[in-house]
Amino acid sequence: MTKIAYLDCSAGVTGDMLLGGLVDCGLSLDTVNERLASLSLTGYTLVSESVPTNKGSYVTITRPTQTPPAYTWTAIETLLTSSHVSPFVGDTTLTTLQTVRERLASRAGTQATDTVPVLALARVISILVGLQELGITQLSLSPLPLTSGQTSHNKAAAPTPATLEILRRAGAVWQPSTGASEGISLLIAALFATLGRFDMPPFSIERVGYGYSVTSAQAKRLCLYLGTVQRGVGEADTDWVTLLSTNIDNMSGELLGGVMERLLAAGALDVSYTPMQMKKNRPATMITVMCPLEKSDELAYLLLRETTTLGVRVQQVQRLKAQRTVQVLDTPLGPMVIKVKRLGTTIVSAAAEYEECQRIASEHKMPLADVYGVAQHWIAKTILYTEEKN
């Protein structure tokens, strides 16, 4: 079963609107304040207010009268790793802010800024804490409003060039809108590019939350539908992983082989090498690493230390995966450990692992191919045949 949040973005989306929708769906602001307090951030205030004549919440993060501080990337990484926020919140925060940083630098034609305003940092952390606290593992989005003009409180509703470019790369779906809208904020665009899916799967609605842009009765409203997607026959699990990639054109095969061994030993889920060609017609290798969210920093630094690369690309992606179970199968060669692949309640396939077949082949002094043949025969006769009868 997957917990889903579906956002009706027809009136636009800002960080405050999304945070308000999460609070209206049951997110505790005390919990958000606790997580932010664990970071020892300063220069912000979390405010929640009711909206006259409307159901829902208005939640915002404001600054005091003095100029709020900005945090360097090194300071942010230190805060996130030493606090009580989860790896999901920490890694996704860095990815989201890095997307904003790089896009702004690209538009300006300059190097990326070395600091992040505390309000942006607190806002994205608050939203991610909310998603995690409500158990939301899938964020799906309606078509986004492609608007022009001004909002009721004189903020430009048309997406900025940086916002458009982030969402274009993420494959966002748009629809024309002639009415007043809040548009899509740059921070939310980066968050959607990191976590969002532009579709609406069939799901059962458990709760509806409303988040507002301001506290007036005419405020724009975001509808957040909280529900579940039931896993049935033939359905896969979903989770989030980090993809690391870098291109290498000046390392030997022996050294690259050692890097793969170290990455796998350090917790990578998968490592692959792809032949490619780089500048000056040099043959090269693209290293791609898939790892759990909490391992992304460690493995990215391993690549920086152990290879000649000067940079590593980091991307969080959602993964569909089959369910796997292990069971012991009685065969004429003795008990054999079998891995069974399922999609929902349906068995798709089953197979013996290489190491298991190698062990049995050595014990019985048999060719490895013969052991595989015995394993597949008994898998078909017991596991798969039973599944077909059911």
Each residue's pLDDT tens digit, 251-265? 999 999 999 999 999
Copy the structure tokens of residue 200. 């609406």
**Domains of the chain with bracketed CATH:** 2-229 (no CATH), 241-321 (3.30.70.1380), 323-389 (3.10.20)
Sort strands 58-62 and 45-49 into parallel, antiparallel or unpaired: antiparallel
More confident residue, 276 or 295: 276
**Highest mean pLDDT of the ranges 89-98, 212-221, 231-240, 377-386:** 89-98
Copy the structure tokens of residue 340. 């069974």
Model pLDDT, residue 157: 61
Query: pLDDT band at residue 6, thresholds of 50, 70 and 90?
Result: very high
For the residues 161-184, what does the mean pLDDT come to?
A: 83
pTM over 0.85: no
Angle between helices 118-133 and 15-24 (to 10 degrees): 30
149-153, 155-159, 217-221, 231-235 — which is least confidently predicted? Answer: 149-153
CA 19 – CA 211 distance, rounded (Å): 7
Name the one residue in this structure whose structure tokens are 């909002």. Answer: 151
Name the one residue in this structure whose structure tokens are 């966002």. Answer: 172
Model pLDDT, residue 155: 47
19-23, 238-242, 294-298 — which is least confidently predicted? Answer: 238-242
* 108-160 pLDDT per residue, tens: 555 556 788 899 999 999 999 999 999 898 899 999 988 765 544 444 467 88
For the residues 7-33, what does the mean pLDDT come to?
A: 93
Half-sphere exposure of 89 (CA within 13 A, CB side): 27
Check pLDDT > 90 for residue 289. Answer: yes
CA 300 – CA 240 distance, rounded (Å): 17
Model pLDDT, residue 249: 92
Model pLDDT, residue 150: 53
For the residues 194-206, what does the mean pLDDT come to?
A: 86
How far CA 42 is from CA of 36, 111, 120, in Å, comes to 9, 27, 12
7-11, 209-213, 257-261, 342-346 — which is least confidently predicted? Answer: 342-346
Model pLDDT, residue 70: 86
Query: pLDDT band at residue 235, thresholds of 50, 70 and 90?
Result: low
Note the helical H segments in 25-160. 29-38, 73-82, 87-108, 118-133
More confident residue, 171 or 22: 22
Model pLDDT, residue 211: 92
User: How many other CB atoms sit within 10 Å of the CB of residue 253?
Assistant: 9
For the residues 51-66, what does the mean pLDDT come to?
A: 80
Model pLDDT, residue 384: 67
CA 10 – CA 33 distance, rounded (Å): 29
